[in-house]
Each structure stands twice: as C-alpha cells, then as structure tokens.
Structure 1
Amino acid sequence: MKNLYMNVFASLIIFAAILIAVFSWLNYMMLREMQGNQQQELWNLVENNVMTDMQTVDKAYLYFDESYTEKMEKELKSLRNYYKKNPEVETWDIAAIKERTEMEFYIIDTTNTIIKTTYQPAQGLDFNECCEKFAKLLNERRAQETFVSDGLDNSAATKDLWKYGYIATADHQYILELGVPLSDTQLFKSFNFFDSSASLKEKYNDLKDIRIISSEGFFLESSDDKESIHDMPKTWQSTYNKAVESGKAQRYESELKNGKKMIYRFKPYTAENRRGNSTDRVIYTAYTNDTEMAMLKESRRQLEVMLAVAFVTSIMALLIIFKIFTRPLRLATYDVLTNVYNRAFYLQQMHKMMQNKQKYPIGLLLMDLDNFKQVNDQFGHPVGDEVLKQFAQILHQNIEKGHYVVRFGGDEFGIILEKATEQKMIQLSQKIMNSVHDKTGECWNLLTTSIGGAIQQCEDETENSLFARADDALYKTKKKGKDGYTYAA
C-alpha cells in the first residue's frame, strides 16, 4: 500500500513537473520570439532612419544640384569649345580655370586616367584600377557629346563627398570634368545623414557601425582606414555582393565568446531621382546581440524564480490533493478505529501472494480477545474501543517484515505471514499472548487471547480453504479453554 501511495504521489509530481516544464518552455519560446521581433524592429528602425535621411539629403541636393549643374554645364561646354581651338591640353592653364569656375578641374584620357588636374590627390588616378564600374561608365560618356551630371558621390582619391559634372571632347579623346567638394557647404551641414548615423549609434547600444557604401564599393565619409569593401573580410564582401546583385537586404553573423555574436546587414538603396551610379548605394549596419543576451539572462533569472515558485506552489497543492485523494483510498484499505489493514486489503493481499509464481508458504493466524464482550458490558464501548487500539499496537509490535495485521471486525484480528513456518507461527503466537498477559489495568485483567493458525498446504489451496482451516483451529483453541494457540496440521 505504501508503494501505491508513493506511485500516486510520484505520478502527481511528474505531472506537475511536465506541466511546469511545458509552460516554462512555451514562455521561453514566446520570449525568444518577442526578442527576435524587437531585434528586427531595431534593424528596421535604424535602416529606415538612414534611408529617410538619405532621401532627404538626395532631395535637398537635387535642388542644390540645379544651380551647380547649370554652372558646370556652361563651363564645361565653354572648355570643350576651347579644346577645339587648342587640343594641346598639356598647355592649358588649369589654375586659371579653377580660379574662374571656383571648382576643381580634371582631364581624363582614353585609358580612364586623370592626366591633368588642379586637385593633386587625384593626379594620375586610374579608374580602371580603383573603380571598374565607373570606368565602363566613362567609356560610355566619352562616346557621347552631351553633358552629364552625377548626384552625391565620393571622391575616388580622398573618399569624401563631391558633386561632379562631365563632358567629352568632340574627338572623344578626353573627358573634361569639374568637381566641387560638398562637406564644407552649408547645405551639407544642414542635411547630413552621417550626423544622424552617429546619433543612432549613441542611442542604441547594440548598433556598432553604420556606413554608406557607393556603387563602386567605397565607404562614404569613412571614419577609419577602411576605404572600400576590398579592405573587409571575404564573407563580408560576399554578403555585400549578394545584396547588390539581388537588390534585397542580406545579412551574416559571426560568433564571439560566451554566446555573443555580431550581425552584419546590407540593405540596397536607390534614390527616387536616379542620377548615374552615384545614387545607388548600400546601407551597411553592424550590431551586437548584447541587449538580447542581457534580456535572455534576465529572462532565465525570472524563469528560475518562476520555476521555484511554481514548484513550491505545486508541491503544496499536490500535498493537499494527495491528502484529499488518498483519504478515501485509506478508508478502503485501513480499519478506521485501529489503523490496521481491513478485510478488503486482506483479500487483495492474499490474492496477490497466491498469484506469485515464486511464492513461499503463506501462513494465516486468526485471533480474538477472550471476554471482550464482558469488557464492553462492564466498562463501556469507549473503553472497549481503546482496548482494540492497544491490541492492534501489540500485534504491530510483535510482527516482522512480510507480516500484515488485519482486523476483520469486532475483536477478530488476523496476521498474514510470508515465508511461514510452523515454528515462526508458534513463536509469534506466544509473543502476542505474553504481551496481552503483561498489560495492566482492570479491563486487561479480564482479557486473554485465543489464536488459530494454518499454513498453505499446496500452491493450489485457495484463500477460502486456508481461512477455514485457521478459523477451525481458532475454534478448537476456544473449545480447549481459550488463552492458547492451535495449529491446523
């Protein structure tokens, strides 16, 4: 019966543990999903901020562009006409051109090399080496005779932001170029997405880097010595190229220590008013998962607290449920008055023992208290009930492991013995009778014990047969004068 109680309690514990584990796992997964959504929202927020700023800048520069474009077109057409009169560009006074136009002047030959310029950092720059896409574009522009103006772009030589205009000479030998740096203009100071990017990095701890990459793979306004995608790792370059080729956002991750990682994202951007390759860009952002790790750490702490509280609460609830649940089970198993097994348990236990294929001989002792009716009549039923309780205690004190005390009703008790022998039954009976003799008290002076015993004669003997033989032995004891033991041979 103890095993039954333990099994019931263990089942309730396992059920509660599974329930807590399932709910905890669901809560954890919901939290992970929420954190993933928050991370995605952060990415979208940052990138949309940068895109909005770039759109604002592009629109502002579009208006700014008109005045510069008109002036550039006028000056470049004038220089192309001058080229017709003097095609020897080596003799040109480019310093005077810069002074007149208030712009830097460049001459690009058929090899896409700047052979003459007022801007010394660009002298000798070969676009075939640094800017393959732009070199192809120059070849197309050299074949035309129209003026072309690019939008916001970065200098191939210094990587800062410029405005450029181009026109090819009539003989298609050169491209004449004018450029003006934008970083010193009031417009740039008013509409500068680099300042916005810096403020975003200050605002969001996970955001570690924001860069704008030109169509040629150069970083606009680079804050370190990394000037182009070629200065970055191979995986970085590969992901960037996928974003450019697909026109869709791409990302990759690199693992750091202790579960931390870096997330790199590339999002293509094209201005609403496209002006050459300069308005095709990629927004690059780099994030850590520090916030996610902190949230996971906190969520694990909360989960541990929740599990502890849930476990303690569940144990308390289970103890109450167990007590409520086992009460009727106990009533069906134990005698209410004496707290020994009842007849229902006796039948169940006998059936179980007799079904055991490797069973040992089963013994049964039946006994009652001689003169118990006299005690009830003389001292009252409450005293009689107390006598029955004490007698049950006597039986418990004298039995060994594998013995089961049963009350059949009234003053009739029994003991089931596993591995029974005639000698063991005699010894146990004598101990019980001696214990009753040793009891003191007026009522106990009237009481003795009559006992009858039987051992299962063969494996096929039934409980009814065994009980009948033990009962017959008890009857013989009483007939002989009570206060003794009779064995049914």
Structure 2
Amino acid sequence: MKARFRLKLFVTMIAFALIISFSIAIIDYIKLKGEAITNNQVQIQQTEDIVMDSLSNLDKAYRIFDEDTTEEMKERTEELVERYQSNPSFKNWDFAAIKEEIGMDLYIINEHNVIIHTSFPEDQGLDFSACCSDFSSLLDERRQAGEFAVDELDVQQKTGDLKKFSYMPTPDKKYIIELGYSLADKRIFNEFNFLEVIRKLENEYEAINEINVLNIDGYKLGAPTDENLLAGDRQEAFNQVIRSESIAEVEGEWGGNPALYRFIYYSTDNTQGISTNRVVEISYNHEGLGAILERNRTIFIWQLAIVFVVTIILALLISKWVARPMYMAFHDQLTGLKNRTAFEEIMEKRIKDRQETAILMVDLDHFKNVNDILGHDKGDELLIKLASCIRNNCRQEDTAIRMGGDEFIIILPNTNVDDASNVAERLLQSISNLFQSVTDESGISLTASIGISVTPQDGIDIETLYKKADIALYASKEKGKNQYCVYDATKSYAQNM
C-alpha cells in the first residue's frame, strides 16, 4: 500500500508539475512566436518606408535643385519646335548632330504614339499604344494640352537607364517632341540614389528577395524592359494598385520557392499626371521568419525536454521525502488501513453529497485476554490478520479503517441496511474462521461484534453516525457477542438482526 501511495503521489506531482511547466513553456513559445511575427511585420514596414522615402526625397530634390535642367530642356524643345516650323520634314534632320549639340536624346512621336525618328536607335519604332497603354493615353492628353511637360524620372525601356524626359507637341499637334536627359553619374541622382538604397535593403534583410520600382506600365526602373514584364497574378495585383492607388498582395514564387509579392502605390506630384505614379514591388520570402520560428521551436522542444527531466527528478526526490509522512497522516501504521483522519474526511464528503452510506463498526471480543496471555506482539499479529480479513471482505468501493486498538470501521457507499447486514454476516463468519486456531491453541474465544448505522436516516453528521453505530455495537455485545446489530431509532436500544 505504501508503494502504491508513493507511486500515486509521484504520478500526481509529475502531472501537476508538467501541466504548470508545459503551460508556461507554451505561453513563452506563443509569446516568442508573436514577437517574431511582429518584428517581421515591423521590418517589412520599415523596408517599405525606407524605399518610399528614398523615392520621395529624389523627386523632391529634382523639383527643388534641378530647375536648371528643366529650363534647359524647355528652351531646347522650343528651339526644336521652331526648327520644325521652318523644316517640318524630319527626314532632313540630323538627329545624331542634334544630340551632340544639345547633349540629350531626341525622339519624334507621331499621332499614333509611335517613335518614328530618334537619336537613340534602340527605340526606333517603339509603339507606346502597344506596350504602354496608360502612358499612351497620357501622351494624347499632353498632345491636346499643347504645353511643355516633364517627367523627372522614368526608364529608358530598351536599356533600363534612368532618364529625365520632356514632352511638347508641335503647333499642329501631329507630333510630340520628346527629349531624354540621362541621370547616370549626375550629382542629384547619386546623392539620392534609390537603387543603391534598394540594394542595401536586399542585402541587409533576410526576408527580402527583391525590390522593384515600376512605372505606370509595369516596367522596372533601372532594368531593361524586356526582362521585367509582369505576368499572371502579379500583373493583376499591379493593375489593381494602379486603379485603386492602394496596396495589394499576391502569393507566387521567387527562385523556385514560395514568396509573397507586395505592391505599394506611390505618387509624388499629381500635377504631372500618371507619369509620376509608380508602384513599389517587394518580394518577401518565408525563410527569414521561418528560420526564426524554427529556432524558437527548437528552443521550445529543448525547454520541454529539460523541464520533463527535471520534473521527474524533483518528483522522485519529493515523493521519496514526503510520501511516508503523507501516507501515515491517513493510514494506520500497524495494519496499513486508513485511520480516523481518513474516516472523517471520507464521511464528510459522503454526507455532503447526500449519498446513502452504511458504516460497520467492528470490535473484537475478549481481545484484552490475548494481550494479557499471549502478549502484545501476538495481539499485533492478530490485528494485522484481522485487517487483511476485513479488507478481503470489502468491495472495491468500500473503505476499511482502523480507528484504534481493536476497533475497526468499514464504510459502505450506496448501501442500505439489508446490504450492510449481508456484509456483516459474511465478515463475522470470516473472522470466526480466522481466529478458530487461536481459540483451539489458547482457549481464548476470539470473535467479533458489529454495530451498523446508515446515513441519512440515522444522522447527517459524523459524530451522530459514529455514536449510533457504537450503540448498536455494544447492543450486540450485550446480547452475547459474535453477532451484529443495526441501530433502531424507535427503541432505546439497538435491534438485533
């Protein structure tokens, strides 16, 4: 019984400690996971803010510090318009010489928005209505407006070079004269080079695959057009952002691995129309966050393993130290049965739950003679045998208790008077058989008397039930011993059954 109690205590302590420890560890893991996700989101937001600020600073710098270039482009364009009025046949123009003279590329766009003449051969025949519908619509608007317009920053589609472009229609509005001013190696661009900022972010943050700045037709600034056309879901997300001037996300692949593409709308100056609109595309991988979560998961598993081992060790030590004192607090040292403290605890619960319960009070007849004649050691030996006999006559749900000396009690849950009487009869017969050899050897007639009381009819408190069982017990002794009596509330004495 002691070993079983220690095992139960050990298992209980392990279960309790593991529940507490695992709960704390799981809460910490969830907290760390939440912090990792939050930090990743903060990193994403910081990345976007840095890119947007870089673009904004570059645009502002051009508007503030590059007015001379804008003014020069306007003057050169007006000169070319005058040349057109005096010589409207572009076939007679020497575009290479003009480029050499003004230091800018020259493009002639016809009424179908096709480049028909240029100093930049790669763009000869470029059809904006076919490749760039939004920009083509803007050219039509500028043609009708008849005014000079400038785009501070856009992409040279064939090469990916960044240039400043100006546009002015001829007086007859048949053509648009476009100038392209290269920004490469220019002081302002180098001071506010967003491409360099992007490269640093891509190298610094593990979660970022790639950052692209796209013009209104989805072409990447700083890269050749043919290599950067969007397709599929990315194109749809891009179009949505252009239309709604908002943010969109779409799942896709990058380098054969899953990736999240996030599109953010950007506009610096609405007075220039959609030519100044851009979209920042940032491709995020799940590896950065996944690696952090995997590290946290590994730490969590190790924590659980350590907690489990430490808990087992502590439970073993504590159960070894406290098992016996705790066991003895509710058990009789000699017989191993429950003691008076356990009796009171069990009965309090039975009474509180209003469950019908019988108690059998058992007392040995002539036991004093055993101690006087055969000695206390023999008496203890017989008490241990009696405890075993009582236990063997109990059902699984019954509880055998030694109250002290040769007095025992059996608690019988969910038992009425008739069932309690049947148990008493069997027990008396078993005790008589057990001690027959003692009687034969010593001449001491060793039997038992039993008193029975039942709750709730005989009382709803421990003291009353105990007292009435004791009255019934002594009634059985007065009637000749070796029998049982049930307490009868209608008489002043117990009724012999």
TM-score of Structure 1 vs Structure 2, range by shorter chain: 0.7 to 0.9
1:408-423 correspondence runs (5 A): 408-412=403-407, 420=423
Q: Normalising by structure 1, what TM-score? A: 0.74
Q: Secondary structure at the match of 2:299?
A: helix
TM-score, normalised to structure 2's length?
A: 0.73
Separation in 2 of the partners of 1:274 and 1:436?
121
2:448 counterpart residue number = 452
C-alpha distance in 1, partners of 2:302/2:388?
47
Which amino acid in structure 1 is aligned with residue 87 of structure 2?
A: N
Residues 113-137 of structure 1: CA deviation (Å, up to 9, x unaligned): 1111121121111111112222122
Q: For 2:439 and 2:55, locate their aligned partners in 1 and report how far apart those are by CA, in whole Å.
A: 103
CA–CA distance in structure 2, aligned partners of residues 311 and 278 of structure 1: 64
Rounded to whole Å, the distance in 2 between the matches of 1:18 and 1:11 is 11
**2:384 is aligned with 1:393:** yes
| Structure 1 residue 153: Cα displacement | 0.6
SS in 1 for 2:447: strand
SS across alignment from 2:112: coil
Listed as ranges, the matches of 1:208-247 within 5 Å are 208-222=209-223, 226-228=227-229, 231-234=230-233, 236-247=234-245
SS in 2 for 1:197: helix
- Superposed, 1:149-188 pairs within 5 Å as 149-183=150-184, 185=186, 188=189
Matched residues in 2 for 1:337 and 1:241: separation?
89
Q: Distance in 2 between matches of 1:244 and 1:470?
A: 102
Which one of the candidate residues 264, 268, 271 is aligned to 1:271? 268
Instruction: Give the deviation of 1:107 after TM superposition.
Output: 1.0
**1:431 aligned to 2:427?**
no
CA deviation profile, 1:309-366 (whole Å, cap 9, x unmatched): 55566674799599979967964x53455543446767968x98xx99999xx89674
CA deviation after TM superposition for structure 1 residue 196, in Å: 2.3
- Number of residue pairs the alignment of both structures matches: 456
Aligned to 1:443: none
CA distance change for structure 1 residues 224 and 469 in 2, over 3 Å: closer, same or farther? farther
State the percentage of identical aligned residues. 29
Kindly report the root-mean-square deviation, in angstroms, between the aligned alpha carbons of the 2 structures.
4.8
> Does the CA contact (< 8 Å) of 1:367 and 1:474 recur in 2?
no
2:123 paired with 1:125: no
The amino acid across from 2:447 in the alignment is: I
Please say if residues 365 and 454 of structure 1, whose CA atoms lie closer than 8 Å, have aligned partners that are also in contact.
yes
Q: Which moved more, 1:292-301 or 1:166-175?
A: 292-301
Q: Flag structure 1 segments of 5+ consecutive residues without an equivalent.
A: 377-382, 439-445, 478-487
Distance in 1 separating the partners of 2:225 and 2:91: 37
Instruction: Tell me the alpha carbon deviations over residues 245-293 of structure 1, each in whole angstroms, 9 at most, x when there is no partner.
Output: 333333334599xxx9522222222336965544322211111122322
- Corresponding residue number in structure 2 for 1:295: 292
Map Cα deviations across residues 434-457 of structure 1 (whole Å, 9 max, x no partner). Answer: 37989xxxxxxx89561136799x
Is the alpha carbon distance of 1:436 and 1:67 closer, same or farther for their aligned partners in structure 2, counting shifts above 3 Å? farther
For residues 416 and 145 of structure 1, what CA distance do their matches in structure 2 show?
108
Q: 2:264 aligns to what SS in structure 1? A: strand
SS in 2 for 1:467: helix
Amino acid at match of 1:301: T
2:205 aligned partner: 204
Among residues 471, 480, 483, which one is paired with 2:477 in the alignment? 471
Please point out which of 268, 278, 292 is paired with 1:281.
Answer: 278
Letter in 1 for 2:266: Y
Question: Is 1:43 aligned with 2:44?
Answer: yes
Matched to 1:252, the amino acid is V
Relative to structure 1, the CA distance from residue 15 to residue 102 in structure 2 (aligned partners, 3 Å threshold; closer, same or farther) is: same
CA distance in 2, matches of 1:185, 1:251: 35
Secondary structure of the structure 2 residue equivalent to 1:125: coil
Deviation string for 1:377-431 (max 9, x for gaps)?
xxxxxx84x5554333333455663447544443455789986596875454333
The CA distance in 2 between the partners of 1:416 and 1:24, in whole Å, is 44
Letter in 2 for 1:71: E
| Aligned equivalents of 2:444, 2:252: Cα separation in 1 | 89
Q: Judge conservation of contact 2:207–2:289 (CA < 8 Å) in 1.
A: no
CA gap of 1:167–1:431, structure 2 versus 1, over 3 A, is same
One-letter code aligned to 1:450: L
Give 3-state SS (helix, strand or coil) of 2:282's partner.
Answer: strand
Report the more deviating stretch, 284-293 or 411-420.
411-420
Deviations 1:154-185, CA, capped at 9 Å, x for gaps: 12444331221222111111111121333355
Structure 2: distance between partners of 1:27 and 1:321: 28
Greater shift in the superposed pair: 146-155 or 403-412: 403-412
Q: 2:249 touches 2:263 (CA, 8 Å); kept in 1?
A: yes
CA distance in 2, matches of 1:197, 1:33: 28
The SS at the match of 1:151 is strand
Cα distance change of structure 1 residues 369 and 308 upon mapping to structure 2, 3 Å threshold: farther
